[in-house]
Amino acid sequence: MHLRLRSTLAAALMAVGFVALSPAMALANVTAWDTNSCAQLSMDYPHVSSDPRWGVLQKATWQCNTAPATVHMNTAYMGWWLWVCPTAGPDDENWITSNCQYKGSNNTSIYWDTSHVGWAYTLWVPNSGTRTIGTGYWVACAQWYSSGYHGNGQTFLTFSAYQYIDLRS
């Protein structure tokens, strides 16, 4: 009996350890929850799409837990961009825009009404249907804020990790 209990406890502790160390958990809170209880929950690495029509893409997920609320990425300085760079660089938009090649964007805002509060929405960049190809270190950055019942939230600027990809055609 004690041996079974001990092995069950060991298995449970190992499972907790694997969950705590998994990449998904590491990306669980890319941003803090803002004044409208909105957050960017995850931001994946840029990667080659399983659909050959797309090329390289990147996805991220947002959630708002109050409604109505909107995550804005459709203004002059808000959006979500995909770049390919000759080297991996810093998480700095000035460095990226000066040293990297723009590959696409997503300027979609997300709206939560009272019937969708708490839903998580996943978007992809680029969203234009353009096939993105190139060789180098791919990175995505998103700048957004929320508005809603509690006013305007703070502006967040997030970066994916740089990912080397060679996709020439």
**What is the reported pTM?**
0.80
Q: What's the confidence (pLDDT) of residue 11?
A: 40
d(CA 91, CA 70): 26
pLDDT at 133: 95
Residues 54 and 112 in one domain: yes
> Which structural domain range is residue 35 located in?
31-167
pLDDT in tens, the chain (169 residues): 444 434 433 443 333 333 333 333 344 568 999 999 999 999 999 999 998 889 999 999 999 999 999 999 998 889 999 999 999 999 999 999 999 999 999 999 999 999 999 999 999 999 877 899 999 999 999 999 999 989 999 999 999 999 999 998 7
* 28 Rama class: left (phi>0) / alpha (psi -120 to 50) / beta: alpha
Q: Looking at residue 10, what is its pLDDT?
A: 41
Q: 32 by DSSP, 3-state: which?
A: coil
Instruction: Say if residue 14 is in the same domain as residue 36.
Output: no
* Total domains in the fold of the chain: 2
Instruction: Give dist(CA 67, CA 84) in Å, integer.
Output: 36
Of 40, 65, 71, 62, nearest to 145 (Cα)?
71
Give me the residue label for tokens 């096939």. 131
* 19 and 98 fall within a common domain: no
Verify that 80 and 156 share a domain, yes or no: yes
Q: What is the pLDDT of residue 77?
A: 87
User: CA–CA separation, 19 vs 64, rounded Å?
Assistant: 24
pLDDT of residue 156: 96
Distance in angstroms (rounded) separating the CA atoms of residues 163 and 99: 16
Residues 107 and 137 in one domain: yes
Q: Are residues 13 and 88 in the same domain?
A: no
Is the distance from CB of 66 to CB of 39 less than 8 angstroms? no
pLDDT for the residue 55: 94
- Are 2 and 85 in a shared domain? no
Q: Are residue 49 and residue 122 in the same domain, yes or no? A: yes
Per-residue model confidence (pLDDT) at position 22: 34
Whether residues 119 and 51 fall in one domain: yes
Rounded to an integer, what distance in angstroms lies between the CA atom of residue 65 and that of residue 48? 32
- For 22, phi and psi rounded to 5 degrees? -70, 150
Instruction: Look at residue 127 in the predicted model and tell me its pLDDT.
Output: 85
Residues 72 and 152 in one domain: yes
Do 77 and 151 belong together in one domain?
Answer: yes
Predicted confidence at residue 52, as pLDDT, reads 82
| CATH number, position 70 | 2.60.40
- Judgement on whether residues 12 and 45 belong to the same structural domain of the protein: no
